Structure 1
Amino acid sequence: MRREYNTRQKREMLKFLQDRRLQHFSVDEVVAEMQDRGEKIGRTTVYRFLELLTEQGNVRKYQNAQGITQYQHVEDVSSCDDHFHMMCKNCGNLIHVDCELMHSMAEHLFAAHGFMLDPRDTILKGLCEKCREGGEEAEDHGAHWHKECHHCV
C-alpha cells in the first residue's frame, strides 16, 4: 500500500489552489508560481498531484482552445454541477453560465430526445465579448444538422 505524504510542496500547491479557487491554470503556471515562491518542484510532481486531486473531485480538468490542459480548483465538488461552460476559441477563457434557457434546453433534450446532457462536461465554443469587440472573427463552419427535431422547428 502506497503511503501519501503531506510534504511542504503539497502544502504550497494547496495554498496556490486555494488562492485561485475557481480560476483556471495549467501545470506550467503552477510550476512557475512555485518556483517564484522559491519552491523547487518538478513538472511531473505538479501533474501527479493535480491528477490525484482530479480523481478525488477537488479539481476539474479540461482542454483550452489551444489544446493545453487546464485545471480548476473547485473545493466543493458540486460547484460546477449545475451550470454550463462556454470557451472562447480565441483567448481560451472559460466562462461559467447559469442560464435558465440552457437548463430548458437540457430538459428539452431529455424529454424529446432521451438524451441526458451533463453540464459538468459541456463546453460551448465560440468568441467571448472581449475578443468579438477586438475584431476577432469566428471560423464559419456552417450549420451541420444531422437530425431535424419537430419540437425545435
Structure 2
Amino acid sequence: MVSELKTPHGNKNDYLNSKLSEPETEELRLVLKEVGLRCTKARLTVIQELKQASVPVSHAELADKLVPLGFDKATVFRNLVDLADAGLLRRIELGDHVWRFEWIAQETGSDEHPHFLCIVCGDVSCLRDLAFELPQLASADVFGEVTEILLKGQCSKCLTAAT
C-alpha cells in the first residue's frame, strides 16, 4: 500500500478531494485521456486551481500554493507545459517575460478574450466582456493573424493611489 504524503497543510488527497467532486474528477479524467495525457493528482490539482482562478496564473504563483501540499515546482511546471501543449491551457506572455496560464473552457473550446496589464503594479485582469472586431480593411493581408489582444494602463487602485 502506498502511503500518502503528509504535509503541514494536510495531504494531496485531502486537498484534491476537497476541491473536486466525483463527477468533476471523472470529467477531467476523460478530457485528459482525449488529449493523450495520464490523469495524475498533480495534473488534476493544477487544472482545478486554474479553473478556479479569475486571472491567468504564473508558475511561481501556482507553485507557492501547491508546494506546501507536497507537489514540487518542477512537477507543477511540467504539468503546466504539458497541459498547454495539449491545448487545455492558454499560455500568455504579457511582455514581462513571465508565462501565465489559464484554463480554456472545454464547453466552448475557446473563451479567447483580451487582458489588461497594469503598468504600475503588474496586476493582470481578464476582460471577458470586451469584444474586439477588426474592421474589414484590417484583413489578414494587412495584419496577418491576430492571436492575442493586450491592453496596458493603470488599474483603478494605482490611479487612486497616484492622486
Please tell me the TM-score bracket, short chain as reference. 0.5 to 0.7
2:138 is the counterpart of 1:110: yes
Contact in 2 for aligned 1:87/1:95 (Cα 8 Å): no
Distance (Å, rounded) in 2 between the aligned partners of 1:48 and 1:99 = 32
Counting matched residue pairs gives 125
Which of 127, 134, 139 is the aligned partner of 1:96?
127
Distance (Å, rounded) in 2 between the aligned partners of 1:13 and 1:65 = 24
2:43 is the counterpart of 1:10: yes
Distance (Å, rounded) in 2 between the aligned partners of 1:108 and 1:85 = 23
Q: Superposition RMSD on alpha carbons, in Å? A: 2.9
Structure 1: stretches of 5+ with no match in the other structure: 137-153
Distance (Å, rounded) in 2 between the aligned partners of 1:52 and 1:73 = 13
Deviations 1:37-83 (A, max 9, x none): x2x22222111111122122221122346532211122233101xx4
Distance (Å, rounded) in 1 between the aligned partners of 2:66 and 2:115 = 28
Which of 56, 77, 91 is the aligned partner of 1:47?
77
Q: Secondary structure at the match of 2:63?
A: helix
Runs of 4+ in 1 over 3 A off after TM superposition: 64-67, 97-100
In the superposition, relative to structure 1, how do residues 91 and 110 fare at CA in structure 2: closer, same or farther (>3 Å)? same
Contact in 2 for aligned 1:84/1:122 (Cα 8 Å): yes
What is the TM-score when the length of structure 1 is the normalising length?
0.64
Contact in 1 for aligned 2:114/2:150 (Cα 8 Å): yes
Match of 1:63 in 2: 93
- How far off its partner does 1:91 sit? 2.2
2:158 is the counterpart of 1:131: yes
In the superposition, relative to structure 1, how do residues 126 and 117 fare at CA in structure 2: closer, same or farther (>3 Å)? farther
- How far off its partner does 1:109 sit? 5.2
User: Partner letter of residue 80 of structure 2?
Assistant: L
What is the TM-score when the length of structure 2 is the normalising length?
0.61
Deviations 1:108-152 (A, max 9, x none): 5515x732552x41212221222112218xxxxxxxxxxxxxxxx
